[in-house]
Amino acid sequence: MTNMTKQQNILIIGAGLCGSLLALRLGQRGFNVTVMEMRPDLRKVDISAGRSINLAFSDRGNKAMKLVGIEDKVKDLCIPMNGRMLHDIEGNTVLAPYSGREHEFINSISRGELNALLLDEAEKHKNVSIYFNRKCKSVDFEKTTALFKDYTNNTEFVEDADVIIATDGAGSAMRKSYYLGKKFLFSFSQDWLTHGYKELSILPGENGSYKTYKNALHIWGRESFMLIALPNLDGSFTVTLFLSYDEGEYNFNNLTSKERVLEFFGKYFKDALELMPNLVDDFFENPTSPLGTVKCSPWHYKGNTLLMGDAAHAIVPFYGQGMNASFEDVVQFDKVLDEGHDDWETIFKIYEKSRKKDTDAIADLAIDNFHEMKGHVNHANFREKRTLEMALEKHFPNDYSSKYSLVTFNENVGYREAMLRGRAQDKAILNMLADGKLNIQDDLKLNLEKVKTETENILEDDRIAGLK
Amino acid sequence: MTNMTKQQNILIIGAGLCGSLLALRLGQRGFNVTVMEMRPDLRKVDISAGRSINLAFSDRGNKAMKLVGIEDKVKDLCIPMNGRMLHDIEGNTVLAPYSGREHEFINSISRGELNALLLDEAEKHKNVSIYFNRKCKSVDFEKTTALFKDYTNNTEFVEDADVIIATDGAGSAMRKSYYLGKKFLFSFSQDWLTHGYKELSILPGENGSYKTYKNALHIWGRESFMLIALPNLDGSFTVTLFLSYDEGEYNFNNLTSKERVLEFFGKYFKDALELMPNLVDDFFENPTSPLGTVKCSPWHYKGNTLLMGDAAHAIVPFYGQGMNASFEDVVQFDKVLDEGHDDWETIFKIYEKSRKKDTDAIADLAIDNFHEMKGHVNHANFREKRTLEMALEKHFPNDYSSKYSLVTFNENVGYREAMLRGRAQDKAILNMLADGKLNIQDDLKLNLEKVKTETENILEDDRIAGLK
């Protein structure tokens, strides 16, 4: 409840993407910022963080980069992906654009390069200090202190601060302290998909060339499992297999021999297999990791401590919004700081109240997209809907945005609003197509009006029924 | 993976309502059943279990009583409640029936009396042994053993079994072992309402008479908080206040003086206060307890262990279905046993697959009803809907059941189906009333057809959009 002044000492736990951006922004605002990161400095040591190598970077994330003034530097790390390259089982491909507006695309970016840039920028501020190899073991949220293990000398120490912000990811130590402390009612959920994932790779061609089309997110959707690939700057692609642990003919638990892995890929991902002579080595060297969603509330304890980023809301990767959502946390938090409140508790309360509905929504949208990517993208009615939406976005760029566009390219629309409007639009189009009330051969302007009217009806019906 | 035979030793953790019913049923089926309960024997010691004194008992619960052949004995413990007696702020009352069909009502029943009956019935079987004052501390689900503390001699012991079924309630020790063990991907959520509850009482009148109308569930709904009362056989009512911990003018955190409690009740529950001269004593003697929902999955570990009842799915009390849902677990489990599978793992898998969607649904419905009871029951459009539904149920008893009836009186319709159909009906009626497409003065048969047609449209639209 101390008055908030710039001289306050802020302890950030975790120097991943969210923590290093937060350190940079709070450094710019003049706070005394200390960051403790459990891993070694990724700028000095080549570490596989056990997390995805590359990520989808889009407009919400970019808004945060603009806020801290490094938009251009980040752009240099980006590879634009204009759409989904859909690979069918025969190896035929079709490019399904993400938007009907040409300037709307997503980017593939290296987690490590981006994190390094954020660390460099944060450390330019004298009032920001970053320590590596310090693992947080627990947080005393009543005393606003955190216990760390220092791996450099194998000792433990307690760090005191005016405020602690934990950006220590999906396995957050501070969130665990909230849960185990039982000092307040802490709502918490962890939900695992039946599918896990494994990272594989398509190596660069000669002279760093790309062995398949560079500017797309490649998808081999096979209903109950899928493979995707995102390009890297060196000409390689990071490939990810999403597959059930124990269901279906082929699953992670029974893909235990070289022969069976090759059989599986040969049967379902023939054209990908041809680009991956290194498949079997990758498959057996790389870990299989689970896919989980974490939600919790409250994020803060009084004005002492706050969870941000994945520590507060870990989501599955299928909307490409995990990093973008965490970056947007920092933008939203910064906006509340701008409001000039006197104490941290008020700031934390306002921040959570405005933010949580949106991070809950992107968590649910990401689960939706798992099913969309695996299978719906191959279905006739879904493809017809997308064809119509691309035409609407192209010809009426100011009047229509698909759910995907609302989520990905409309950084000034909250995730929750994007979810409600986007789902209503999808429902309107799919139903009017099914009922023959909409014909994609009809005049586009007429179809736009039909979709808008039906969408409003759906939203209004839900409001009256008290469902939304 | 042992073959399932009747000679198997089954260890049940917890002899509450679900555990004692399960012990009775498995005893009837010939299994060797051992039950360990942490509390003293409630038939010998007067214990307040820290849980609600009386409960709503309805058709799903009764189906379980029929299964074990004690329907008539349970009926003697029941007080029928035909509807909600709504008390407005002036003290005016109106009885809103639960159903338009006269034979459909719910019952108030004493938790303790019902539990005692189930224990008595279970113990009639020589192959059932029940031990009290044995608290489960943890379960080794790989070895199928459980660690207990024996309060009678302050020692600890390990109990071995072929199968362990935990019915140890919302705070289940075995669920905690699943969570902390991290041996498999365990999805888990605990969600707390911002409201807590406190039990109060209206004492009996002279000669055990009832000071207010006996055969109803009384509700004083005040939008952001509410009071309810259920009758007991001795002429008393158990009264429960549901109130926010820290929001609004009056809340549990600031009702700290006698004067303030009386002021609050005098302002909002005047007619109830007149019946409760003992209010202040009750208020400060009785605990304030939180209201939580627990969901998890999987419920079982291989064929070794299984969670049932509140241990698997704790819900808030607002649909009066907590006990009924746990009893229905036993009915459903018994049905899977009837199918004659060879091993416990298959039985547990089939049971969870068929059951979890329904317990998830009743958890969500119970949250819906919190809002309905607090406020919607007072709203004009909601009341108009209920008036129409009562008329439909009365005049077309085979053609219409409201959401409440589907959940409460249709024990052969699963909770999930009841939720989907019930919500669609509510949406259809509320929207047609709002749009003027339905007039409750119109011919009732016509209105029935309109409601049915619109309900089907809504369900079909959701199916096409892939939302349900």
| Nearest-neighbour CA in chain B from A235: distance (Å) | 36
CA nearest to A23, candidates A309, A317, A303, A301: A309
Asked if B81 and B89 count as a contact pair (C-beta separation under 8 A), the reply is: no
Q: What is the pLDDT of residue A285?
A: 94
Q: Do A185 and B192 touch (CB under 8 A)?
A: yes
User: Cα separation of B248 and B269, whole Å?
Assistant: 16
pLDDT at B48 exceeding the cut of 90 = no
Indicate whether B375 pLDDT > 80.
no
Handedness of CA A215, A219, A220, A226 (dihedral sign): positive
Closest alpha carbon within chain A to B462: A427
A189 and B192: CB-CB below 8 Å?
no
Q: Where are the alpha helices (DSSP H) in B158-314?
A: 173-181, 258-268, 270-274, 279-285
DSSP string, A346-397: HHHHHHHHHHHHHHHHHHHHHHHHHHHHHTGGGSHHHHHHHHHHHHHHHH-T
Band of residue A2 on the pLDDT scale cut at 50, 70, 90: very low
Nearest 5°: the CA angle B263, B266, B271 is 160
Confidence grade of residue B60 (pLDDT, cut at 50, 70, 90): very high
- Over 70: is that where the pLDDT of A20 sits? yes
Amino acid type, A23: A
∠ CA(B381), CA(B387), CA(B389), 5° rounding?
105
B interface residues, A as partner, C-beta within 8 Å = 185-192, 245, 290, 292, 295, 371, 376, 423, 426-427, 430-431, 434, 461-462, 464-467
Minimal Cα distance from B179: which residue of A?
A190
The residue that leads in pLDDT, A4 or A403, is A403
Partner residue facing B427 (CB), from A191, A427, A465: A465
Is A267's pLDDT higher than 80?
Answer: yes
Q: How confident is the model at residue A457 (pLDDT cuts 50, 70, 90)?
A: very high
Closest CA of chain A from B150, distance in Å: 26
Cis preceding linkage at B231, omega within 30 = no
The answer to whether residue A276 scores a pLDDT higher than 70 is yes
**pLDDT greater than 70 at residue A48:** no
For residue B466, the model assigns a pLDDT of 82
User: Residue B337 in contact with residue B351, Cβ under 8 Å?
Assistant: no
Cis peptide before A298 (omega within 30 of 0): yes
Distance from CA of A412 to the nearest CA of B (A): 26
Reading the block at residue B264, the tokens are 């609050």
Q: Rounded distance, CA A334 to CA A355, Å?
A: 12
Tell me: pLDDT of B195 over 70: yes
Chain pair A-B, CB pairs under 8 angstroms: 66
Which two three-digit tokens encode residue A68? 């801290």
Tokens of A447: 């179809």
Tokens for A235, please give them: 């000409």
Please name the member of B186, B189, B466 whose beta carbon is closest to the beta carbon of A188: B189
**B288 contacts in chain A (CB < 8 Å):** none
pLDDT digits (tens, 9 = 90+) for B65-124: 999 999 999 999 999 999 999 999 999 999 999 999 989 999 999 999 999 999 999 999
AA letter at A136: C
Is the per-residue pLDDT at A4 higher than 70? no
Model pLDDT for residues A190-244, shown as the tens digit of each residue = 999 999 999 999 999 999 999 999 999 999 999 899 999 999 999 999 999 999 9
Which residue in B423, B434, B461 is closest to A431 by CB distance? B461
Is the predicted pLDDT of residue B34 greater than 90, yes or no? yes
pLDDT at B256: 97
Whole-number percent of chain A with pLDDT over 70? 96
DSSP B110: E
- Please report the ipTM that was assigned to this predicted complex: 0.90
Cα A138 to Cα B112: distance, rounded to the nearest angstrom: 42
Q: What are residue A84's DSSP bridge partners?
A: A96, A217
Cα of A432 vs its chain's centroid, Å: 32
Q: Say what the pLDDT of residue B372 is.
A: 79
8 Å CB contact of A466 and B434: no
What rounded mean pLDDT belongs to chain A? 94
d(C-alpha A206, C-alpha A210), whole Å: 8
Structural tokens at position A454: 């039906």
Q: What is the pLDDT of residue A1?
A: 37
A-chain CB neighbours of B466 within 8 Å are 371, 376, 430
In B, which residues are within 8 Å of A467 by CB distance? 423, 427
The residue among A46, A106, A72 whose CA lies nearest residue A323 is A106
pLDDT at B467 over 60: no
Residue in A180, A183, A187 to test binding to B, most B beta-carbons within 10 Å = A187
Q: Residue B378 has what pLDDT?
A: 67
Q: What is the pLDDT of residue B311?
A: 98
Angle between the N-to-C axes of helices B444-464 and B380-395, in degrees from 0 to 180, rounded to the nearest 10 = 110
Helix (H) or strand (E) holding A63: helix A59-68
Kindly state the average pLDDT of the residues B12-30: 98
Q: Evaluate if residue A52 carries a pLDDT over 80.
A: no
pLDDT tens figures, B408-430: 999 999 999 999 999 999 999 99
Chain B: residue whose CA lies nearest to A186: B192
The reported pLDDT for the residue numbered A383 is 86
List, for residues B127-155, the tens digit of each pLDDT value: 999 999 999 999 999 999 999 999 999 99
Helix (H) or strand (E) holding B193: strand B187-202
How far is A295 from chain B, CA to nearest CA, in Å? 9
Q: What percent of chain A has pLDDT over 90?
A: 90
Q: Which residue has the tokens 């220092």?
A: A150
All residues at 6 or more sequence positions from A384 whose CB lies less than 8 Å from its CB, including other chains: A433, A440
Are A376 and B426 in contact (CB < 8 Å)?
no
Task: Find, among B222, B66, B36, B42, the residue nearest to B139 by Cα.
Answer: B36
Nearest Cα of chain B lies from the Cα of A223 at a distance, in angstroms, of 15
Give the model's pLDDT for residue B362.
Answer: 98
Nearest-CA distance A426 → chain B (Å): 7
* Cα A331 to Cα A66, B192, B357, distances in angstroms: 10, 29, 38
**pLDDT-based confidence at residue B1 (cuts at 50, 70, 90):** very low
| Beta bridge partners of residue A97, listed in sequence order | A83
CB–CB contact B467 A423 (8 Å): yes
Q: Is the pLDDT of residue B468 over 50?
A: no
What pLDDT, on the 0 to 100 scale, is given for residue A301? 98
Nearest alpha carbon to residue A210 among A101, A135, A108, A356? A108
Give the mean model confidence (pLDDT) for residues A159-186: 96
Judged by CB atoms closer than 8 Å, whether chains meet at A427 and B465 is answered as yes
Arithmetic mean of pLDDT, B318-333: 97
**What's the pLDDT band for A7 if we cut at 50, 70, 90?**
confident
Q: What is the pLDDT of residue A51?
A: 58
Q: For B222-281, how does the pLDDT look when each residue is reduced to its tens digit (9 = 90+)?
A: 989 999 999 999 999 999 999 999 999 999 999 999 999 999 999 999 999 999 999 999
Chain A, nearest residue to B433 by Cα: A464
Measured between alpha carbons, how far is A64 from A56 in angstroms, rounded to an integer? Answer: 15
For the record, the structure tokens of B135 come out as: 């608290």
Taking the C-alpha atoms of residue B135 and residue B175, their distance in angstroms, rounded to an integer, is 14
Residue B251, min C-alpha distance to chain A (Å): 16
Contact A187 B187 (CB under 8 A): no
pLDDT reported for residue A12? 98
pLDDT in tens, B276-321: 999 999 999 999 999 999 999 999 999 999 999 999 999 999 999 9
